[in-house]
Amino acid sequence: MKGTLARHLQVQMGQISVIPLQCQQSSSSTAAVSNSSSRFQNLLDSEGSDPQFHSSTENPSIGDVDVDEKDFILSQDFFCTPDYITPVDQNLLNSFGHNKENMLCPESPEKLNTIKTKKRRQDVILANPLSPTLSDQQQNLEIANTSGTDEVKIEITPVTGTQRCQNYVSQSAVALRCFFSTIVGGDGLSRYHTDFHEMQQIGTGNFSRVFKVLKRIDGCLYAVKHSTRQLHQDAEKRKALMEVQALAALGCHENIVGYYSSWFENEQLYIQMELCDCSLSINKSSKSFTEDKVLEVLHQIAKALHFIHGCGIAHLDVKPDNIYVKNGVYKLGDFGCATLLNQSLPIEEGDARYMPQEILNENYNHLDKVDIFSLGAAIYELIRGSPLPKSGSQFFSLREGKLPLLPGHSLHFQNILKVMLDPDPVQRPSAKELLENPIFDKLQRNLRI
C-alpha cells in the first residue's frame, strides 16, 4: 500500500505543484505591482509563471519524502498546501481602493478541521459542521464504501443539533475512505477526481458545466465549474483565466460567490467555488417575485456591484442566471465577462438581453453603469416573471428607457427601475447612490430587528 500511496501522491503532487507557503506568498506580492491596471494585466501575463495556475512540473521530489501514511493523510497542513486553500493573498487588487474593512474573509474550512480531526473519532461519518455549505437544515453525508468497488455511496439525512456538534472528527474518516477509494480503484489521476467526489450536476452555461462536489480531504461541499470545451490556444486560456483572476482579486464579499481554487486539467479550466442553493434563473414556468423580494435582491446585488466597482472591475454579465442564493443571501457569480473599468483589458459583453444600447454601439466609457442597467433589467425580469426578449420591439423599447407600467407596484420602485434603465449611462445611479435610496430603509430596519 505504501508504494501505491507514494506513487499516487507523486502523481497528485505533480499535478498540483506544491510550492512552499513562503515562496507562494512572495510570488503573490511580486505580482502586486503598484499600478492597478497593470496589476490585473500582470496577472494575465503571468499565466505561465503563477504557481496557482500551474498544472505540473516545478515540484520538489515529493516521492522522496518519507512520511508515515496515516499522518500524511491526516495532516491538513500537507494536503492543504497553499495550492488547496483560498489564495494566501486574495486581495491582489488592494490598490484598486476597495475598503478592506468590508471584507468578511471566512477562515479556510480545511484549517479549522485540523486539530479536532486528530483528537476524536467516531463511527458515523458526517460532513463538516464548519463547512461553508452547511446550514441549519442541512445534511449529513453518510459515506459507505461498497467493498470491492471504488464507488462511494452518499446518503443525505437531516442533522440534529447534537449531531452537528459531534461532526468534527469524522472528517478524517470521510477523507480517508474517499481518498483510499480513489487510490484503490478509480482512475485517480485527475486532480478533479482525486480531490473531489462528484455528486450531481447543478448547472450548465454556454461554455461550462457546474457540479456539486464533496471535497474528499475536508468533507465540505463545493461547486466546481469546468469548461465544456478544451482550451487549446493560449488566448482561449487567457480569456478563461479572466474569470478566476477577477474572483481571486476581489477576495471575499458576502454577496459575491466565494472562490477557493482553480486549475487546468485536460486543457479545461476547473474552478472550485462556494456552493450555493440555486440561481434566480427565470423560465416560462417561473413565478414572479414580490416587490419586497426583488428589493432584497436589488439591495444585495447593488452591494456586490458597489464593492466590485470600488475595485475597478466591471462584471458585464449581471442577470438572474448569474445571481445565486445561499441561505437567503444573494450572491453574484459567473465572472466570465469581468473586465477592468478603465478599459485596459479586452471587453466581452454578456447576455444581450441585459445589455444597454451603448454596449451594442461599442461605447465602453461607463462600464460600471452597464452593470447598473443589467441589474435593472434583471430586476425587471424577476418582477414580471417571464424571460426578457432577445430582439424585437420590446427589446428596443427597453433600451429607449420605455418601461411598461408595472401594476400593483409602488411608483417609488418603478422610478428606480426607470432610472437604472435610462438610455444615458450618466443618468443612471451608481451602485453607491442606489444603496442610499430611502426605498431600502425598510430592509435595513428589518435587519436591525
Ligand X SMILES: Nc1ncnc2c1ncn2[C@@H]1O[C@H](COP(=O)(O)OP(=O)(O)OP(=O)(O)O)[C@@H](O)[C@H]1O
> Given the rule CB under 6 A, which residues bind ligand X?
202-208, 210, 223, 225, 257, 273-276, 279, 281, 321-322, 324, 333-334, 336
328 Cβ contact partners less than 8 Å away, ≥ 6 residues apart: none
Number of neighbouring beta carbons within 10 Å of residue 57: 8
Q: Work out whether 279 is an interface residue with Mg ion (CB under 5 A).
A: no
Q: Say which entry of ligand X, Mg ion, none residue 206 contacts (CB below 5 to 8 A, set by partner kind).
A: ligand X
Rg (CA), the chain: 23
For Mg ion, the binding residue among 50, 243, 334, 422 (CB under 5 A) is 334
- Grid cell at residue 283: 423560465
Sole window of 179-187, 253-261, 316-324, 362-370 interacting with Mg ion (rule: CB under 5 A): 316-324
Restricting to residues 63-92, name those near Mg ion by CB under 5 A.
none
Q: Please report where in the chains the cell 446518503 appears, as a residue.
A: 155
Q: Which is nearer to ligand X, 19 or 332 (CB)?
A: 332
Q: How far is the C-alpha of 121 from the C-alpha of 81, rounded, in Å? A: 24
Q: Is residue 226 a contact partner of residue 270, using CB atoms and an 8 Å limit?
A: yes
Interacting stretch for Mg ion, rule CB under 5 A, among 80-88, 188-196, 289-297, 331-339? 331-339
Q: Which residues lie across from 139 on neighbouring strands?
A: 158
Whether 225 has a binding-site annotation, put simply, is: yes
Phi, psi of 12 (to 5 degrees): -65, -45
For 371, phi then psi, to 5°, come to: -60, -35
Residue written as grid cell 470600488:
310
CB of 321 to Mg ion, least distance (A): 5
Under 8 Å CB-to-CB from 400, ≥6 apart: which residues?
357, 423
Least distance to Mg ion from the beta carbon of 429, Å? 25
Q: Considering the complex, what minimum distance in angstroms separates the CB of residue 270 from ligand X?
A: 12
For the bound state, the minimum distance from the C-beta of residue 276 to Mg ion, rounded and expressed in Å, comes to 12
Instruction: State the catalytic residue, choosing from 50, 83, 317, 371.
Output: 317
Amino acid, res. 294: V
| Nearer Cβ to Mg ion (79/211) | 211
> Site size for Mg ion, by CB under 5 A?
4
CB-nearer residue toward ligand X: 181 or 279: 279
Query: Distance between CA 292 and CA 443 in Å, rounded?
Result: 9
Q: Does residue 374 touch Mg ion according to CB under 5 A? A: no
Q: Given the complex with Mg ion, which of 82 and 203 has the nearer CB atom? A: 203
CA–CA separation, 144 and 157 (whole Å): 14
Q: Map the footprint of Mg ion across residues 391-410, applying CB under 5 A.
A: none
Q: What is the distance between the alpha carbons of residues 110 and 131, in angstroms, rounded to a whole number?
A: 9
Rule CB under 5 A: is residue 205 a binding residue for Mg ion?
yes
169 interacts with, out of ligand X, Mg ion, none, CB within 5 to 8 A per kind: none
Judged by beta carbon, residue 191 or residue 225, the one nearer ligand X is: 225
The yes or no reply on residue 322 touching Mg ion (CB under 5 A) is yes
User: Cβ closer to ligand X: 204 or 233?
Assistant: 204
User: What is the distance between the alpha carbons of residues 247 and 90, in angstroms, rounded to a whole number?
Assistant: 9
Q: Applying CB under 5 A, which part among 2-10, 57-65, 205-213, 231-239 lies near Mg ion?
A: 205-213
Contact 333, 276 (CB under 8 A): yes
User: Does 181 participate in binding Mg ion (rule CB under 5 A)?
Assistant: no
- What's the distance, Cα to Cα, between the start and end of the chain in Å? 58
Q: Is 317 a catalytic residue?
A: yes
Residue 28 and residue 87 in contact, taking contact as beta carbons nearer than 8 Å: yes
- Residues belonging to the active site: 317
Task: Detail the residues annotated as belonging to a binding site for ATP.
Answer: 225
Site residues, Mg ion (CB under 5 A): 205, 321-322, 334
